[in-house]
Amino acid sequence: MRGAQIIAANHTSNFDPLIVGWAVAREIHFLAKEELFRAGKAFGWLIRGWNAWPVRRGGSDAAAIRQCCWLLGRGQTLVLFPEGTRSCTGQIARFKPGIGLLALASGAPVVPTFIGGMDKSIVSYWVDRDFVRRGLRKRPKQTTGITVRFGKPVLPRGFSRNRDGYQALAAEVESQIRRMAACHE
């Protein structure tokens, strides 16, 4: 698909943005919690180089929304994780309506994306050390494959331009990703 698009994926690992980036084979931009940009100069520089943009968690971040709309207005691909944080169990959490707001504000289609196997992979064991320390990720006994599946784009037209519309669009994207996850099991 050419032009602006939002790739909305489930989120189980810190490595998810790179996995999605490799799978789409085009330049992507994504949001990352602002704390990561202060984790160290080198790391902040690195994720900025990977087209990460800071987002303040715990509520709406008007600057991040403007940045996303600006990127989409220039035909860019934006990767978002509508759960808002990584799932420590691998189960998909409820999606936040911000994905719907961005799609309706920009007119960009949303591509539902399912990342499977990441939470049980050696990659997650290496990368998500906070989950390992808390006993939520174990070293896998055998290597599991990581898959990325893309669903049919959800077009913003037909959804109302209000909170109900934002939530309905987010729910449709979530539903498609849940169906892809059910087929993966």
DSSP state of 35: G
Tally of domains within the chain: 1
Give the structural domain span for 9. 5-184
Of the ranges 1-10, 124-133, 143-152, which one carries the lowest mean pLDDT score? 124-133
HSE, side-chain direction, 13 A CA sphere, residue 141 = 0
Residues 6+ apart with CB under 8 A from 130: none
Residues 6+ apart with CB under 8 A from 100: 156, 159, 165, 166, 167, 168, 169, 170, 173
What is the CATH number for 36? Answer: 3.40.1130.10
Tell me the per-residue pLDDT of 76-123, one tens digit each, with 9 for 90 and over: 999 999 998 888 888 999 999 999 999 999 999 999 999 998 888 888
The CA distance from 14 to 139, in Å, is 16
Where does the pLDDT of residue 3 fall: very low under 50, low under 70, confident under 90, or very high at 90 and above?
A: confident
Where does the pLDDT of residue 58 fall: very low under 50, low under 70, confident under 90, or very high at 90 and above?
A: confident
Residues for the chain: how many in total?
A: 185
Higher pLDDT among residues 130 and 74, named by residue: 74
Look at residue 73 and tell me whether its pLDDT is greater than 80.
yes
pLDDT at 36: 84
Tell me the per-residue pLDDT of 143-183, one tens digit each, with 9 for 90 and over: 778 999 999 999 999 999 999 999 999 999 999 999 999 98
pLDDT at 23: 94
Region 33-48: mean pLDDT is 83
pLDDT at 44: 81
pLDDT at 177: 97
The CA distance from 50 to 65, in Å, is 19
Share of the chain above pLDDT 90, in %: 54
Q: Which residue has 């509508």 as its token pair? A: 82
The CA distance from 182 to 167, in Å, is 22
Helix, strand, coil % over all residues of the chain, rounded to 5: 45, 15, 40
Look at residue 60 and tell me whether its pLDDT is greater than 80.
no
pLDDT at 80: 95
Starting at the edge strand that comes first in sequence, how are the strands of the sheet with 5-9 ordered? 52-55, 29-33, 77-80, 5-9, 110-116, 147-150
Torsion of CA 172, 19, 65, 42, to 10 degrees: 160
pLDDT at 62: 86
